[in-house]
Copies of this chain bind each other. A is one copy, B any other.
Amino acid sequence: MSSKNVFFFGSKTEGEAGNKNLLGGKGANLAEMTKIGLPVPPGFTITTEMCIEYYKQGKKISDSLLKEIREALAKVEKDTGKKFGDANNPLLVSVRSGARVSMPGMMDTVLNLGLNENTLKGLIGATGNERFAYDAYRRFIQMYSNVVMGMNPEILEHILTGTKEKKGVKNDTELTAADLKQMVADFKAKYREKMKSDFPEDPMQQLIGAISAVFGSWNNERACIYRRMHGFSDDWGTAVNVQAMVFGNMGEDCATGVAFTRNPSTGENKYYGEFLINAQGEDVVAGIRTPQPVNKDSVDPDNPLPSMEEVMPAVYKQLANVFDILEKHYKDMQDIEFTVEKNKLYMLQTRNGKRTAMAAVKIACDMLNEKLINEKEAVLRVAPEQVDQLLHPMIDPKASKTLIAKGLPASPGAATGQIVFTAQDADEWASAGKKVILVRHETSPEDIKGMVAAQGILTALGGMTSHAAVVARGMGKCCVAGCGQIKLSGKTMSVSGKTYKEGDIITLNGSNGEVYDGNVGKITPELSGDFGKIMDLADKYRKLKVRTNADTPHDSSVARKFGAEGIGLCRTEHMFFEGDRVVAVREMILSSSLEEREKALAKLEPMQKQDFVGIFREMKGLPVTIRLLDPPLHEFLPHTDAELEEVARNMDVPIDMLKSKSASLHEFNPMLGHRGCRLGISYPEIYKMQVRAIIEAACELVKNEKMEIVPEIMIPLVGKKEELAIIKEYSEAEIKKTMDKNGVNLKYMIGTMIELPRAAITSDRIAEEAEFFSFGTNDLTQTTMGLSRDDSGNFLPDYVNKKIYSVDPFVSIDQEGVGELMKISIEKGRKTRKNIKLGICGEHGGEPQSVIFCHKLGLDYVSCSPYRVPVARLAAAHANLMS
């Protein structure tokens, strides 16, 4: 632990931007901004380590820490010339959280701290503004009694609402100093009634309470959920920033705002921000009043509010200058908070701005062009997790649609779903497998769960920096915000003269803010322009190859366009289901002798061959790994009685025979049943047919189209070397016969999937036969964890909630368990066959954290579904650049 636990910033700043882990992002950047001469109110940061210490001490602040706090506070007093708790010129402070990464709105804040009956008088004296002072005091009492004392906020809010009603006013701002003074007295009386004690007068007691509350908020439910969602560690803790208050709410020459140095939605190199005159910072983020744009460029022609550039030109100039300094200094787009107190600008926060995938790509390319960053940095600026967004469906321009409303394009992409009106409904409907659009007046941190569950979010209030907008962008989720045309009432939404009920379907276009009736067609954009540039750079800086999982020429073609460098998994059984082939497949299964089975297989063989011809041709000589039949045979039989009867009629076999065959193939645990290479052991004729079809296809293309093809034949579910040896032996005999027949001499490889723990553990033996390994991490996860993917839905969410798994192991590789088996397998496999070719073909192959893990393991390639190929390419580059 550091011996210094409190870092001052002001006349003699002690921290800097590099200290984020210790000071939190906010604290480190406040110190940094102070250092580079920007106008920052002085203050100090209590380190994140003290947060962890706070919990260790049983939620107590130690005396030694208190001493450091007092010393830092004295420096703030010196810098500001004010005194904390002073009756004449009192220092008021804000107390804010600040973890090493931004967790917007998740933790607590207390403003205007230091006010009591005494200092209130001082504040009135110093500002000459009694109304402002009482307003600050009543805000402080409201915030403190809720945040620090845990009082239900509605109790005091009720008094506020009552007062406004009594006075016949609508806005808080219309209340007079006298109204507010009375309200303070009422608040305190109510506080006494509820808390059985007086509202704390001692500023130091207030400060300790607020610091404790911020530390405490590190573990509130929404912060925990947020961390889990983003994979942040619970052990990081939050820092606490105590800073001299400046006021955006002292009059019309005051303001408060948030802004980005570039457009966070499109990436356009134009300032982008919102502000409110005569307001405190929380008012902007809370989305209660619709804020005005910072610069003229951002004025919405449909709703032309005056910009700061026009209203406060001098301060705007200062602000623009600060933007430029910050971008040059941080070399990244900044997200800042500022306050204007009596025409003087104060910076309250800067941080790297969150952005959409589209903006990330554009900003990275622009900054590369501006020579602000280099190629490697440009690649690292686009998170692989985000790229998915760019591959998300967009509204098809050619689709017919009925526009019903237009709001702000808060987070791009398109989404269709059934309307729900509460976060809880969103969560429940989604759990029941429904796709929903969450429609709210505005969202708050309590809605996180519902936002996660929804396809898209539509809010009636709030701007581009409202809670809904910020959080949705972070999630890569489509969002239309501030759509004032919709009128919400209970569980209905009225718009364009129509009333939508819960369950009705709408479509959102988060890229332009449009809302449509019903389900509107969507398309997926291509890789081109800036995105293409980033992808090219990713290819330049990655080592890991990226293949695709594709079973048809069409999928192969899509994947090629997304940059796939081969096929890592071609599932032959998918071909078995197509059209009338399944008839032949069923005939094969129902055969009671080898001869009959071979007869049925002979019908399938030419079709299989044509499949492979198509795929090989599409892949133009790139490697293609073909997996022989994997699923249990009963998967090909119909399941209901009605279907069975139809098949029996079509095939002209007695229904009883079909039923009894179907029953005899039934398995209690098909995942662990008669499948994979076990079929190749029981029915060699099936695999022989498939091997012939592969080799025939390759020979044909080699002969007729002069292609170079090295087929990779993959045997699934091998657990013991001997299985592979037997199948390899008869397959090689078929291969030889087929090549001889065609007069072609092909190179080929025979390898296996590693998808059973036993295969991983005995990879040294298996590598004696296998020329390549492909990790089938779907099944390997199921068997290693003893967890059925199909059945885990009942309890896996609970497991993630209870932090047993930090992330669904079917989404991101369980590195500690499954990953350890992969490591063992690789070590043992290489011991036997030094240059064994290694890949992964589970769903994980397109998940960024898993791709990075595969890079570290030293695999040759990952293989994933076509649409995830770009994600994998970028993740592979990140892995290499970060290693």
Contact = CB atoms under 8 A, between A and B. Distances in A.
A672 B671 contact: yes
Interface string A788-830: 1011101100110011110000000010111011000000000
B795 A783 contact: no
A626 interface: no
Given A670-B669, A783-B783, A798 B681 contact: yes
A719 interface: yes
Nearest to A720: B804
A756 interface: yes
A226 B668 CA distance: 32
A669 B804 contact: no
A341 interface: no
A786 interface: yes
A650 B802 CA distance: 37
A805 B723 CA distance: 9
A668 B790 contact: yes
A352 to B, nearest CB: 33
A758 B821 CA distance: 9
Given A791-B669, A820-B762, A756 B784 contact: yes
A761 interface: yes
A203 to B, nearest CB: 40
Contacts of A288: none
Nearest to A817: B758
Most buried by B among A682, A757, A765, A802: A757
Given A726-B804, A817-B761, A786 B681 contact: no
A758 B814 contact: yes
Contacts of A717: 786
Interface string A761-795: 11001000000000000010011111110111011
Contacts of A799: 678, 681
A21 to B, nearest CB: 25
A722 interface: yes
Contacts of A820: 761-762
Interface string A714-758: 000101101100100000000000000000000000000001111
A667 interface: yes
A532 interface: no
Given A756-B784, A802-B726, A805-B720, A669 B790 contact: yes
Contacts of A816: 762, 765
B795 A682 contact: yes
A673 B789 CA distance: 9
A428 to B, nearest CB: 15
A674 interface: yes
B794 A674 contact: yes
A787 B673 CA distance: 6
A869 B211 CA distance: 64
A673 B795 CA distance: 9
A675 to B, nearest CB: 9
B788 A673 contact: yes
Contacts of A672: 669, 671-672, 782-783, 786-788, 791
Oligomer: number of copies? 2
Contact of A668 (B784, B791, B805): B791
A110 B790 CA distance: 62
Contacts of A814: 758
Contacts of A786: 671-672, 717, 719, 755-758, 779, 783
Nearest to A823: B761
Nearest to A782: B672
A576 to B, nearest CB: 20
Nearest to A724: B804
A785 B762 CA distance: 11
A682 B761 contact: no
Nearest to A806: B722
Contacts of A787: 672, 719
Interface string A545-565: 000000000000000000000
A817 B667 CA distance: 24
Interface residues on chain A, size class: 35 or more
Nearest to A755: B786
Contacts of A669: 669-672, 782, 788, 790-791
Contact of A795 (B678, B722, B790, B791): B678
Contacts of A723: 804
A722 B803 contact: yes
A284 to B, nearest CB: 40
A787 B758 CA distance: 11
Contacts of A756: 784-786
Given A668-B790, A791-B674, A794-B674, A785 B758 contact: yes
Contacts of A762: 816-817, 820
Contacts of A755: 786
A804 B757 contact: no
Interface in A98-134: none
A720 B807 CA distance: 13
A729 to B, nearest CB: 11
B817 A681 contact: no
Contacts of A758: 784-786, 814, 817-818
A719 B785 contact: yes
Given A804-B723, A805-B720, A668 B757 contact: no
Contacts of A790: 667-669
A678 B797 CA distance: 12
A805 B717 CA distance: 15
Which of A671, A761, A794: most chain B CB closer than 10 A?
Answer: A761
B791 A673 contact: yes
A649 B239 CA distance: 61
A281 to B, nearest CB: 39
B817 A719 contact: yes
Contacts of A817: 719-720, 757-758, 761-762
B681 A802 contact: yes
A818 to B, nearest CB: 7
A761 B821 contact: yes
Contacts of A794: 673-674, 682
A807 to B, nearest CB: 13
A222 to B, nearest CB: 21
A814 B804 CA distance: 30
A775 to B, nearest CB: 14
Nearest to A819: B761
A779 B723 CA distance: 22
Contacts of A678: 795, 799
A784 B818 CA distance: 12
Contacts of A681: 795, 798-799, 802, 804
| Best-buried of A786, A788, A795, A798 by chain B (most CB within 10 Å) | A786
A814 B670 CA distance: 22
Contacts of A818: 758
A502 to B, nearest CB: 23
Given A668-B791, A669-B791, 12 more contacts: A668-B670, A672-B787, A672-B791, A673-B792, A674-B795, A681-B804, A719-B787, A726-B804, A755-B786, A761-B817, A762-B820, A779-B786
A-B pairs, top 6 by smallest CB distance, nearest first, are A672-B788, A757-B757, A758-B817, A669-B788, A673-B791, A756-B786
19 contacts: A667-B790, A668-B670, A669-B671, A669-B672, A669-B791, A672-B782, A672-B786, A672-B787, A678-B799, A681-B795, A681-B798, A719-B817, A722-B803, A755-B786, A757-B785, A757-B786, A761-B784, A765-B816, A783-B786
